[in-house]
């Protein structure tokens, strides 16, 4: 087992791996890159590898802490991905902060669900997903996903989503590309 702190969303225990990204790691993803922000911390993740990645039928558990901020008028966001095995879904529950879960289907139709403490989100199969911090505090959420889903970042790196979450008149809006 591992321990999930339900106040902070942080995991501890054996088999918990950590990773982090800066704004510069997402160069090319932003509507307009800002090299002056390249070193700014963007998000960190923890994954409890309770099973080996790729194991059919197994589940994995993890969290993401996404910092607040803007690159131009675009809110800080995660890279976003499809699952390599497209039929695989995922569940996410928000611990704290204020965010948006951006979901795009295979017809490139994009929508968003607002995230706040306790909001629980189902990412169906065949759906690319990314999270965006639209608030002023870190956005922390927990996710559970199939160990055999795989992560396809390439398509999003190349084509992006069909909409971006931008600050328009002080509000977060999903704006079509
Ligand atoms: Fe996923």
In tens, the pLDDT along 110-137 reads 999 999 999 999 999 999 999 999 999 9
Residues 111 and 164: their CA atoms lie apart, in Å, by 10
CA of 142 to the centre of ligand 1 (A): 11
CA of 149 to the centre of ligand 1 (A): 8
Q: Note the pLDDT tens digit of each residue in 125-168.
A: 999 999 999 999 999 999 999 999 999 999 999 999 999 999 99
Residues 62 and 64: their CA atoms lie apart, in Å, by 7
Residue 106 predicted with pLDDT over 90: yes
Residue 177 predicted with pLDDT over 90: no
Q: Which of 142, 125, 130, 121 is nearest to 174 (CA)?
A: 130
Q: Which of 76, 64, 83, 77 is nearest to 142 (CA)?
A: 64
Average pLDDT in the 69-79 region?
98
Residues 105 and 53: their CA atoms lie apart, in Å, by 25
CA of 44 to the centre of ligand 1 (A): 15
CA of 145 to the centre of ligand 1 (A): 7
CA of 169 to the centre of ligand 1 (A): 31
Q: Which of 37, 41, 165 is nearest to 99 (CA)?
A: 165
Residues 73 and 75: their CA atoms lie apart, in Å, by 7
CA of 124 to the centre of ligand 1 (A): 10
- Rounded alpha-carbon distances, angstroms, from residue 87 to 72, 83, 84, 105, 150: 35, 8, 9, 12, 11
Tell me what percent of the residues of the chain surpass a pLDDT of 90.
Answer: 99
Predicted confidence at residue 16, as pLDDT, reads 98
pTM: 0.96
Residue 81 predicted with pLDDT over 90: yes
């Amino acid at each position: 087992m591992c321990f999930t702190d339900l106040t902070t969303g942080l995991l501890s225990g054996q088999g918990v791996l950590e990773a982090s990204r800066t704004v510069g790691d997402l160069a090319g993803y932003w509507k307009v890159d800002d090299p002056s922000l390249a070193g700014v911390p963007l998000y960190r993740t923890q994954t409890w590898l309770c099973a080996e990645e790729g194991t059919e039928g197994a589940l994995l558990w993890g969290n993401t802490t996404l910092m607040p901020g803007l690159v131009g008028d675009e809110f800080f966001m995660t890279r976003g991905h499809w699952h390599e095995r497209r039929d695989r879904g995922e569940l996410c529950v928000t611990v704290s902060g204020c965010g948006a879960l951006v979901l795009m289907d295979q017809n490139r139709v994009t929508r968003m669900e607002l995230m706040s403490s306790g909001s629980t989100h189902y990412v169906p199969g065949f759906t690319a997903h990314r999270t965006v911090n639209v608030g002023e505090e870190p956005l922390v959420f927990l996710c559970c996903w199939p160990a055999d889903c795989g992560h396809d970042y390439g398509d999003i790196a190349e084509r992006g989503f069909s909409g971006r979450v931008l600050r328009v008149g002080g509000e977060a809006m999903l704006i079509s590309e």
